[in-house]
Structure 1
Amino acid sequence: MIHPVIMAGGTGSRLWPMSRQLNPKQFLKLTDGPLSMLQATVARLDGMDAKEPLLICNEEHRFLAAEQMRQAGKEQADIILEPCGRNTAPAIALAALQLVERSSEANPLMLVLAADHLIQDTKAFQDGVKKAIPLAQAGSLVTFGIVPQHPETGYGYIHRGNELAMNCFTVDSFVEKPDLDTAKAYLTSGDYLWNSGMFLFSAQDYLNELEAHRPDILAACKTAMSGASQDLHFTRVDADAFAQCPSDSVDFAVMEKTDKAAVVSLDAGWSDIGSWSALWDVSEKDEAGNCLSGDVITHDTRNTLVRADSRLVATVGVDNLVIIETKDALLVAHRDRVQDVKNIVEKIRDDGRHEHMNHREVYRPWGVYDSIDNGTRYQVKRITVKPGAKLSVQMHHHRAEHWIVVSGTAKVTNGEKTYLVTENQSTFIPVGQTHSLENPGVIDLELIEVQSGSYLGEDDIVRFEDKYGRT
């Protein structure tokens, strides 16, 4: 029985403006179809002899991750919350420690996957995992090497060694990202594979190798897990202890040092979707080489990726561009320069702006809000509250709120009074008034909130009670 471990950390800054710090690429629907990258990773496991997946994600993404797992039919899946990022070696160690403690199996096998990879051939992926199982059961730390389709300078490579079985090899060495001429030589030789960052090994074997090569990381992770607390399906590790853990990748910490590494060759239409050009590469295109999504009109346009989120985007006489439109930002870049998008994100952050943090639509455990308009001393939001959900009991020092119900029914606590507000009705929350909002119905509650006051920031919230454990 395989225990899938899905790593869902990271921010995907090269895919801005769609990918944001609080809503990164693993939670986005980047490829055709209704599933996010995370949900597609979960769906890829269907039909395998596997347990419920164990998810590892950042603390700040916990409710978004839990909601997407619920939508994927995996609401019972455990989620380990990282209070801060410490790269992949510690993240995998946390999962391994939890599996060793909780599993009834003597030596559970971990299938470590990234939540933000595209794999177009699910059968080939599953067949590759099946080939890796006997190696992992025999004590190997197995990684999956992707058969290269072109000379790629953006990936690390694995130099395969002796053949152990069909498409299974020892690892001769791991190689850092090469220059173009070296990448061409790798492709010609046929002995080099792209390093996918996917693994299969037993939890205890991984911990043993981590103990041998990076005992400081293992010690810090053990301390963090010993102080962990359970909150529903969330495992909250000790934040102070985990902050002291060294940051290192699983490749540097273990795989490049162990003598137990093996690699399974995989040809399954893999991509890490690390940039907009990578998405263009794997997407279906029209006869002019364009990949278009949303309300898009083109004229004399070639080899261009256009994604329109909220309005009409028209192009005339352009070639080899990436054009990404969201409700609050527009990116126009040459397709050969999309790796530099991260520089724009850094400038936005350095300028004290917020467009790197979140979209205009912001997800909360109770639903979502969309900041429709704002100006001096006012802000307008469209709020959707899921059935049975409730916002925290709270108050604001600097703003008043006027709620107008568009559809559904709201249960409002306004000071000492509690009452229902239905469609086309409204209510007013004065400055300093303790209040809460709840959806007691079976359909979504949608309302318009008009805020007015001297300060309208999200940090002007004093919470007295919250069913989701927020402070």
Structure 2
Amino acid sequence: MQLVVMAGGTGSRLWPISRSNFPKQFINLVTEHSMLQDTLLRVDGLKTDAPYIICNESTRFLVADELQNINVTDSNIILEPVGRNTAPAIALAAFDAISKGQDPILLVLAADHVIKDQDEFIRIISSAESAASKGKLVTFGVVPNAPETGYGYIKTGQQESDYFNIEAFVEKPDLDKATSYLASGDYLWNSGMFMFKASTYLNELKLNSPDIYASCEIAIQQATTDMDFIRISKELFEQCPDDSIDYAVMEKTENAVVIPLDAKWSDVGSWASLSDISDKDEYNNVHQGDVISVDTQNTYVYSPDRLTATIGLQDLIIVDSKDALLVAHKNNSQDVKKVVKQLKQENRSEYSTHREVHRPWGKYDSIDNGERYQVKRITVKPGAKLSVQMHHHRAEHWIVVSGTAKVTNGDKTFILSENESTYIPVGVVHALENPGKLPLELIEVQSGAYLGEDDIVRFEDNYGRVAK
């Protein structure tokens, strides 16, 4: 069995914590681990080969860090240059496995699901292996516990051993239909999790969606390896049709079956759904972070960075980040995506990035800015080095807060310790490295006419970011 984790989503309904360049699968929303890490740890009880992670170009180093932090040292990270939905993403992994002379059973999971009953999950996954090995395309249908209108449904047909034949896939229903589905007992939520042999999936894809098959086949044939990543040609992949596995294969094949799953599953598709699965106090409130509530009921508050106090509230969602605050009624939590759409249309940075930005060498937090200046708190991992670079429009002043910095400033290279500093004029080539065993913390003060991140000319880079 080989795990395929789809980690390319944006999680827009969990804004402002989830953003396009740092989506929900990389955030510790439910446990001490990120949702991607939980997805990988969840299958610890299964014997699996090196997992495939399908992700965006922009999040590749986040994925690598997430795997490293839970000691997953052997993996296949496939970079999608553009999003083309789940059918092509899974095909890339299947083609890559076949190209290595293998034909594994692929367990396809999303990186942003919550499953609280791990033992039951492992039991159901294990029971599906027999059907998958015999050429069935297995999907897992969640046993519904409410008339949910935010999920698609699967209508079960005749039962065969451990699985059901599929009578129909049903789009997201209105409340009346969802209520009738729940009452009938014949419908399951469509979870978006699958299991099948790599060759079975590709054969069905070739039969039912030959354009996707052909595009992904040539994309893998001409893929290149870049550090730890499998890089797909943008020019080739842009030609691939955009389609989900449901539309491209599962609704067309005669070999699709469904196995019921009752393992306390949630796709955490909104703040309200996250509130539903979280532990609550005696007033049905959920507090994440530093929160004081007075005369408040059935309210979710997320405030990891500063104190948030509520008085006399009911049925609300309050989410506080370093640069944005969301206040919404629980009944309207799905409409957060409308805010995200407006942010994108207005080209606002709050759509894509946080104030704190992660880089392969560490992170920086833009703690203050104004006309012709910006102040950042920079954290460099032990042994990491920023690119050798220069700026056309800004000068920089570095002050070490803790740790040790190895600095290149023009034709000089030297060591800075705590409370020591250096000034880098406009146009001077420079670099920053952490030669120590502890994180390096420093304050960077930028000044100049233009302070955008695109005013960086890289000459050398350990992470392959030098323009070719």
Q: TM-score range by the shorter chain?
A: over 0.9
List per-residue Cα deviations over 1:145-183 (Å, max 9, x = no partner): 0000111111000111111114x1111111111111111
Pairs within 5 Å for 1:270-419: 270-419=265-414
Specify every segment of 5 or more residues in structure 1 that has no aligned partner in the other structure, as ranges: none
1:42 pairs with 40, 43, 46, which one? 40
Paired residue secondary structure (1:390): coil
Shift of 1:309: 2.2
Shift of 1:202: 0.3
Shift of 1:52: 2.3
Whether 1:146 and 2:145 are equivalent positions in the alignment is no
Shift of 1:311: 1.1
Whether 1:28 and 2:27 are equivalent positions in the alignment is yes
- Counterparts of 1:75 and 1:360, CA distance in 2: 30
1:230 pairs with 225, 233, 238, which one? 225
- Counterparts of 1:9 and 1:453, CA distance in 2: 36
- Counterparts of 1:207 and 1:353, CA distance in 2: 40
Shift of 1:244: 0.8
Counterpart position of 1:115: 111
Counterpart position of 2:123: 127
Paired residue secondary structure (1:295): strand
Shift of 1:65: 0.8
- Counterparts of 1:147 and 1:188, CA distance in 2: 12
Contact 1:66 1:75 in 2 (8 A): no
Contact 1:116 1:272 in 2 (8 A): yes
- Counterparts of 1:153 and 1:112, CA distance in 2: 24
Shift of 1:356: 1.0
Counterpart position of 1:6: 5
Shift of 1:347: 1.3
Counterpart position of 1:245: 240
Contact 1:37 1:115 in 2 (8 A): yes
Paired residue secondary structure (2:407): strand
One-letter amino acid matched to 1:90: P
Shift of 1:351: 2.1
Counterpart position of 2:457: 462
Shift of 1:54: 1.1
Shift of 1:436: 0.6
List per-residue Cα deviations over 1:110-156 (Å, max 9, x = no partner): 00000000000111111111111110011000000000011111100
Counterpart position of 1:74: 72
Shift of 1:108: 1.1
One-letter amino acid matched to 2:84: R
1:445 pairs with 440, 443, 447, which one? 440
Whether 1:54 and 2:49 are equivalent positions in the alignment is no
- Counterparts of 2:153 and 2:329, CA distance in 1: 27
- Count matched residues: 466
Q: TM (normalized to structure 2)? A: 0.99
One-letter amino acid matched to 1:43: L
List per-residue Cα deviations over 1:222-264 (Å, max 9, x = no partner): 1211211012220001111001111000000000000000111
Counterpart position of 1:165: 161
Shift of 1:306: 0.2
Counterpart position of 1:201: 196
Contact 1:309 1:327 in 2 (8 A): no
- Counterparts of 1:347 and 1:450, CA distance in 2: 32
Counterpart position of 2:177: 182
Q: TM (normalized to structure 1)? A: 0.98
One-letter amino acid matched to 1:200: M
List per-residue Cα deviations over 1:309-352 (Å, max 9, x = no partner): 21111111110000000010000000000111111111122223
Question: Which has the larger displacement, 260-269 or 74-83?
Answer: 74-83
- Counterparts of 2:455 and 2:14, CA distance in 1: 31
Specify every segment of 5 or more residues in structure 2 that has no aligned partner in the other structure, as ranges: none
Paired residue secondary structure (1:411): strand
- Counterparts of 2:110 and 2:348, CA distance in 1: 30
Shift of 1:75: 2.8
Paired residue secondary structure (1:235): strand
- Counterparts of 2:174 and 2:403, CA distance in 1: 59
- Counterparts of 2:228 and 2:393, CA distance in 1: 36
4+ runs deviating over 3 angstroms: none
Paired residue secondary structure (2:128): helix
Counterpart position of 2:427: 432
- Counterparts of 1:365 and 1:334, CA distance in 2: 37
Paired residue secondary structure (2:382): coil
Counterpart position of 1:269: 264
List per-residue Cα deviations over 1:71-96 (Å, max 9, x = no partner): 01113211000001000000000000
Contact 1:125 1:266 in 2 (8 A): yes
Counterpart position of 1:100: 98
Whether 1:137 and 2:130 are equivalent positions in the alignment is no
Paired residue secondary structure (1:309): strand
One-letter amino acid matched to 1:40: D
